[in-house]
């Protein structure tokens, strides 16, 4: 069992299948509110920017996840195999290594297995709402984590569960159990 170091209150949203509002356009998602930005939802900050592509192939589902600010991004995280703890994440988010785009697809091929670049054991750490000084140094940012893939169906539904630390002065990924998500 690992020590508890600096758990913080976070916005936590569990996995639930929901519909993308539109295809082939970029739509912002506010992690603090857990909803799309206006006019598609109650959100105000486009932390994640999704573009779900509608293709000629009805068996194909794909999306691009990008970000609003320079310095924002996402990185893959694999849980250490030998770690015997319920908390397998790093205590604090890394300072570097974030990609500014994530592209995923899945092609359903019945009766065989789907063709996909989704990974079964992947998790993600993200950085959003990044503010930089004139030299390009990060002076504030919000961090969080996604357990598993951001999944998508051919009929435009998605699901992902996340923990979002809204404190822009903390890189803590340790959740104290207090959910800041307003219902």
The DSSP line for 37-93 is: BTTSSSB-S-SEEEEEEP-S-TTEEEEEEEESSTT-EEEEEPPPTT--SS--S-SB-
- 54 vs 34, 45, 60, CA distance in Å? 24, 25, 8
Q: Residue 183 — pLDDT band, cuts 50, 70, 90?
A: low
Cis bond before residue 111 (omega within 30° of 0): yes
| 92 has pLDDT over 90 | yes
Rounded Cα distance between 106 and 118, Å, is: 7
Q: In a 10 Å sphere around its CB, with 0-12 CB exposed, 13-18 middle and 19+ buried, how is residue 127 labelled? A: buried
**Range in 122-126, 153-157, 168-172 the model is least confident about:** 153-157
pLDDT, the chain, mean: 92
Q: Residue 153 — pLDDT band, cuts 50, 70, 90?
A: confident
Q: Report the Cα 178 to chain-centroid distance in Å.
A: 19
**Which residues are 101's β-sheet partners?**
66
- pLDDT at position 120: 84
The beta-strand segments (E) located in 110-166 are 115-116, 123-132, 138-152, 157-165
For the chain, give every domain's residue range: 8-14+23-179
Rounded Cα distance between 30 and 49, Å, is: 9
- pLDDT at position 89: 94
Average of pLDDT values for 119-138? 95
pLDDT above 70 coverage of the chain, percent:
99
- pLDDT at position 116: 86
């Amino acid at each position: 069992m690992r020590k508890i170091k600096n758990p913080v209150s976070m916005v936590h949203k569990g996995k639930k299948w929901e519909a993308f509002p539109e295809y082939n356009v970029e739509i912002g998602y506010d992690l603090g509110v857990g909803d799309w930005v206006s006019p598609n939802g109650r959100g105000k900050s486009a932390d994640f920017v999704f573009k779900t592509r509608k293709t000629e192939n009805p068996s194909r589902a794909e999306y691009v996840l990008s970000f609003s600010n320079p310095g924002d991004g996402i990185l893959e995280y694999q849980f250490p195999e030998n770690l015997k703890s319920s908390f397998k994440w790093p205590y604090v988010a890394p300072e570097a290594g974030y990609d500014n785009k994530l592209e995923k697809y899945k092609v359903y091929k019945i009766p065989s297995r789907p063709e996909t670049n989704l990974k079964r054991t992947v998790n993600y750490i993200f950085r959003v709402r990044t503010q930089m000084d004139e030299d390009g140094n990060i002076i504030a940012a919000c961090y969080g984590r996604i357990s598993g893939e951001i999944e998508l169906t051919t009929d435009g539904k998605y699901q992902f569960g996340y923990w979002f630390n809204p404190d822009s002065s903390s890189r803590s990924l340790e959740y104290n159990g207090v959910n800041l998500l307003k219902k």
